[in-house]
Amino acid sequence: MGLAAKRKVTSRGAHGASKSVVIPSKLKIGEVATIAANRLMIIDPRGEINENDLLEFLETHIEPNFWPWLKQKKAEK
């Protein structure tokens, strides 16, 4: 079963140049997390999926399909 949550984005690092989002405690995590991002972000909190594979999946499957889906969902309201 998936998890849906909103998290506050907080500043980190020197002069707040980096931003962070806390991973929910209910998720199993590894020592590192792999991330792919554009307008949307996909994260493997266990770090088991290569970041380039995540990016390819994001750009090939998620980004092109998400925006038309969201537009249709908004039009149905």
Residue 16: what residue type? G
> What residue spans define the domains of the chain?
10-76
Per-position pLDDT tens, the chain of length 77: 688 999 999 998 888 789 999 999 999 999 999 999 999 999 999 999 999 999 999 999 999 999 999 999 999 98
Q: How many other CB atoms are there within 10 angstroms of residue 40's CB atom?
A: 11
Prediction pTM value: 0.80
Q: Of 17, 66, 25, 63, nearest to 45 (Cα)?
A: 25
Residue 1: what residue type? M
Q: Copy the structure tokens of residue 72.
A: 């249709």
Contact partners, residue 38, CB within 8 Å, separation at least 6: 58, 59, 63
